[in-house]
Amino acid sequence: MARRLGWIGPAIIVVGVAVAGLGVYAMISGKPKVGAVIDTIAIDSHSRFVVRAEDGGDRNFVELVEDGELTWSALVPAYAGRPGAPGIAWSEHAVTVRVIRDQRAEVFALARDNAAKLGGFKLAPGKGPVVKQSIGPVTLTDHVRSYEIVEGPGWHQLVAIELASGQGVWKQDLSADPVDAAGIADGGIWIQQRGSRRVFELATGGERATAARSSNP
């Protein structure tokens, strides 16, 4: 795959400094209004991401909370994650948020320190409309890459994105069966569909043939 999708490593620093938190979607106060909490994703013992509804709207707010204080709040299109299946990945400099806009899966990238918008791009552009996943994971991460599981009527695709550069590293088409579970272990990402398991190398996306039909964690 290895194609540029939305942002490059130097831009993470340059853009973050230049706009000083005034990205297109970054908002600390004012309209639109923040609504109820949808999900909370722990970063460490001091920090967490909080996803909130937009009061009276269909978009969402993503907040970074550190030591109990709001650091920034960013307004994004409809969040694709759900409690227990986050749609957020992060590294030292970047945060990616899975969203659905115009029935398409997208990733929004924000600067970790101030929510300046770094870029955004569509996932699985060669496929049709997507559905919001009701089972299985949405986004997995090892904080080097995000691994995005995308679902549409009759298809699934797994896309790996390098967080530092915004490059799509690799992608793999999966079967039409529901993705029941997935995880990262031993340098690979495993995807389970109806009891059948496939494992892909994190760096290259190459499939491990010996683990392809394992159904146990």
Where are the domains positioned within the chain?
3-211
Does domain 3-211 bear CATH number 2.40.128.630?
yes
How far is Cα 200 from Cα 217, in angstroms, rounded to an integer?
A: 14
The pLDDT value recorded for residue 166 is: 84
- 137 CB-side CA count, 13 A: 19
Residues 55-72: pLDDT tens digits?
Answer: 999 999 999 999 999 999
Asked whether the predicted pLDDT for residue 54 surpasses 80, the reply is: yes
Are the CB atoms for 77 and 96 separated by under 8 Å? no
What's the token pair of residue 81? 């994650």
Label residue 21 exposed, middle or buried (CB < 10 Å: 0-12, 13-18, 19+).
Answer: middle
Tell whether the model's pLDDT for residue 25 goes beyond 90.
Answer: no
Average pLDDT over residues 44-50: 97
Residue 172 has pLDDT above 50, yes or no: yes
Which of these ranges, 127-136, 147-156, 204-213, has the smallest mean pLDDT? Answer: 204-213
